[in-house]
Chain A
């Protein structure tokens, strides 16, 4: 048994404590330590990823208690790549927070940041439903504090909404988990899948209800219709690095739907096999339509990006709901792309609002401002990446998802909605871009605010990652293909976790 698979959880946990104590030295030490920890995490995650690609499943039984009695951590292609993605995103977010001195707004930014990573990595790695609940609470508590980091009326207001709705979600999670345990007598995901496959018919109803309750909770985390109303306010009002890091938080919900529902209600589940997917597909389509309306109606760039996050989530939900290996593989590719680009776009929007002084990120006519060509080009690249136009990574993701739906009877519906909303998104991004960069008010004196290049670097970093996704599209898509096959092969997952 290799202990390296638990390191992505251990490093941020102990790292957070270390960063807390390094506060007695000075902030520079805290920053150095925090960045170093992220680099260590990246190195560990690369090793884990290579290991899983070579050898498949790594199952870590905590305290050597055999499954299903102990807590299990499962490292496979899916969880390893998600954890890796988290650390890549965290690096950019932390970089920006240091470059812009956002971490100075409160005392414990770095501690909370590490704890947030602890929660997210734990949620990705765990193979136990109740343990997933605990890690959800860890990541939520850290996110409550991060979302309120720095002050502001609006931030408190939307933070309060976010906290309350998530507390209700946690209660529902416990009801779902409790009902599953009451009928099936276990909490280990693999064991649950095994128990569902030999479920007595009279218990189908309870298990189905519990599964849909869990879907509701994960849908809340992922911001699925009708539970998305908290997202635009919370994401657009919080500080940029936090919003960037939160680009992965909604993906935790999608991941949980793929992992929990895809395994428990997978091919082996008999009558309950994939019974949740019509809901996921339908709500995904609705979320996409409403998210696009939000994109078009936004008056501030950050708000627009928050709604763009929502549309990317909706695209992922649709891809999961299609339920073919090809679409799921496309979904994973799109997940990498949308997390990176959404994170980068939040950070870029914040950089832009610095340049525009009192006009901030409002989509209105302003006088000329400094670094217009540089920021305009960056905006252009981000816009085509997030709208899913070639040559950047969004195009490949959408292409893979749409080619996965070809053979289904409802392909026309998915095609119409996805392509129509893409068009609307392109139009509204063009509109905001031309209002911010072209339609300048030349009669008044230009704005003088200059910012150092250092602040632009994180925006370049995320764009470069998107280019890498395109350049390495072939190896990455063959990796996502293998991963999708692994996800559908529930039997192998059960065998890997259960020792007997």
Chain B
């Protein structure tokens, strides 16, 4: 289980880094998303991997899983969601203002749907 999670985090991060190093905004957005998935899994596993245990202590329970990483992941997911939305809108705006999806605006001008 731990090995599987570690491999997943590694694959997500390497894919994310690869995509971020591209010069176009769409791969960068995808890369950022992959990295934020990896972060979420990493944070989640920081409370140690425990299967089928409740995050609360009751009088009958003998074992429990740490609830704090779950709360942290929830916060991170919400913030990551907001940030993704923002960066997508910004990428679209830069596409319209710079005329192409190169991060430095250096690519060839593209025709954007309604424009001539």
Interface flags for A151-182 (1: CB within 8 Å of B; 0: not) read 10100110111011001101100110111011
User: A181 and B46: CB pair below 8 A?
Assistant: yes
User: B32 and A156: CB pair below 8 A?
Assistant: no
Given A153-B98, A164-B28, A178:B43 Cβ within 8 A = yes
User: B36 and A178: CB pair below 8 A?
Assistant: no
List, in ascending order, chain B residues with CB within 8 A of A170's CB: 79, 83
User: B103 and A174: CB pair below 8 A?
Assistant: no
* Residue ID in chain A nearest B46 by CB atoms: A182
List, in ascending order, chain A residues with CB within 8 A of B20's CB: 164, 168
CA gap between A179 and B69 in the complex, in Å: 11
| B7 interface residue (CB < 8 Å to A) | no
CA gap between A164 and B101 in the complex, in Å: 14
Interface residues contributed by chain B, number (CB under 8 Å) = 33
Interface flags for B28-47 (1: CB within 8 Å of A; 0: not) read 10001001101100110111
User: B72 and A168: CB pair below 8 A?
Assistant: no
User: B79 and A163: CB pair below 8 A?
Assistant: no
Q: How far is the CB of A217 from chain B (nearest CB, A)?
A: 12
CA gap between A175 and B103 in the complex, in Å: 26
| A235 interface residue (CB < 8 Å to B) | no
User: A167 and B98: CB pair below 8 A?
Assistant: no
Which B residues, 91 to 108, have Cβ-Cβ distances below 8 Å to chain A?
91, 93-94, 97-98, 103-105
Taking a contact as CB atoms closer than 8 A, the residue among B68, B72, B87, B98 that contacts A156 in the complex is B98
Taking a contact as CB atoms closer than 8 A, the residue among B39, B79, B91 that contacts A137 in the complex is B79
Taking a contact as CB atoms closer than 8 A, the residue among B38, B76, B82, B94 that contacts A157 in the complex is B94
CA gap between A148 and B86 in the complex, in Å: 12
| A144 interface residue (CB < 8 Å to B) | yes
Q: How far is the CB of A74 from chain B (nearest CB, A)?
A: 20
List, in ascending order, chain B residues with CB within 8 A of A178's CB: 39, 42-43, 46, 69, 72
* Residue ID in chain A nearest B87 by CB atoms: A163
| A426 interface residue (CB < 8 Å to B) | no
| B63 interface residue (CB < 8 Å to A) | no
User: A159 and B39: CB pair below 8 A?
Assistant: no
Q: How far is the CB of A183 from chain B (nearest CB, A)?
A: 9
User: A156 and B35: CB pair below 8 A?
Assistant: no
| A399 interface residue (CB < 8 Å to B) | no
List, in ascending order, chain A residues with CB within 8 A of B68's CB: 181, 187
Which B residues, 29 to 83, have Cβ-Cβ distances below 8 Å to chain A?
32, 35-36, 38-39, 42-43, 45-48, 68-69, 72, 75-76, 79, 82-83
| A124 interface residue (CB < 8 Å to B) | no
User: B90 and A148: CB pair below 8 A?
Assistant: yes
Q: How far is the CB of B78 from chain A (nearest CB, A)?
A: 10
Q: How far is the CB of B35 from chain A (nearest CB, A)?
A: 5
CA gap between A159 and B97 in the complex, in Å: 12
| A293 interface residue (CB < 8 Å to B) | no
User: A164 and B32: CB pair below 8 A?
Assistant: yes
| A130 interface residue (CB < 8 Å to B) | yes
User: B35 and A168: CB pair below 8 A?
Assistant: yes
Interface flags for B18-29 (1: CB within 8 Å of A; 0: not) read 001000010010
Interface size class of A (residues with CB under 8 A): 20 to 34
User: A157 and B39: CB pair below 8 A?
Assistant: no
User: B39 and A174: CB pair below 8 A?
Assistant: yes
CA gap between A187 and B66 in the complex, in Å: 14
CA gap between A159 and B47 in the complex, in Å: 36
User: B98 and A174: CB pair below 8 A?
Assistant: no
| A486 interface residue (CB < 8 Å to B) | no
Taking a contact as CB atoms closer than 8 A, the residue among B35, B82, B90 that contacts A171 in the complex is B35
Interface flags for A126-150 (1: CB within 8 Å of B; 0: not) read 0000100010010001001000100
User: B90 and A153: CB pair below 8 A?
Assistant: no
Which A residues, 186 to 237, have Cβ-Cβ distances below 8 Å to chain B?
187
CA gap between A164 and B82 in the complex, in Å: 14
CA gap between A148 and B79 in the complex, in Å: 20
CA gap between A144 and B83 in the complex, in Å: 10
User: A164 and B103: CB pair below 8 A?
Assistant: yes
List, in ascending order, chain B residues with CB within 8 A of A181's CB: 46, 68-69, 72
List, in ascending order, chain A residues with CB within 8 A of B45's CB: 182
Q: How far is the CB of A196 from chain B (nearest CB, A)?
A: 17
Taking a contact as CB atoms closer than 8 A, the residue among B69, B79, B94 that contacts A134 in the complex is B79
User: B72 and A130: CB pair below 8 A?
Assistant: yes
Q: How far is the CB of B82 from chain A (nearest CB, A)?
A: 7
List, in ascending order, chain B residues with CB within 8 A of A157's CB: 94, 98, 103-105
List, in ascending order, chain B residues with CB within 8 A of A187's CB: 68
* Residue ID in chain B nearest A159 by CB atoms: B90
List, in ascending order, chain A residues with CB within 8 A of B83's CB: 137, 141, 167, 170
* Residue ID in chain A nearest B25 by CB atoms: A160
List, in ascending order, chain A residues with CB within 8 A of B46's CB: 178-179, 181-182
Q: How far is the CB of B95 from chain A (nearest CB, A)?
A: 10
List, in ascending order, chain B residues with CB within 8 A of A148's CB: 90, 93
Q: How far is the CB of A159 from chain B (nearest CB, A)?
A: 7
User: B42 and A141: CB pair below 8 A?
Assistant: no
CA gap between A174 and B48 in the complex, in Å: 16
13 contacts between A and B (CB under 8 A): A141-B86, A153-B97, A153-B105, A156-B90, A157-B103, A160-B103, A161-B103, A163-B90, A164-B20, A170-B83, A171-B32, A171-B39, A182-B45
A sample of 14 more A-B contacts (CB under 8 A), given A137-B79, A164-B103, A181-B46, is A141-B86, A153-B105, A156-B94, A160-B103, A164-B20, A164-B32, A167-B87, A168-B20, A170-B79, A171-B32, A171-B36, A178-B46, A179-B46, A182-B46
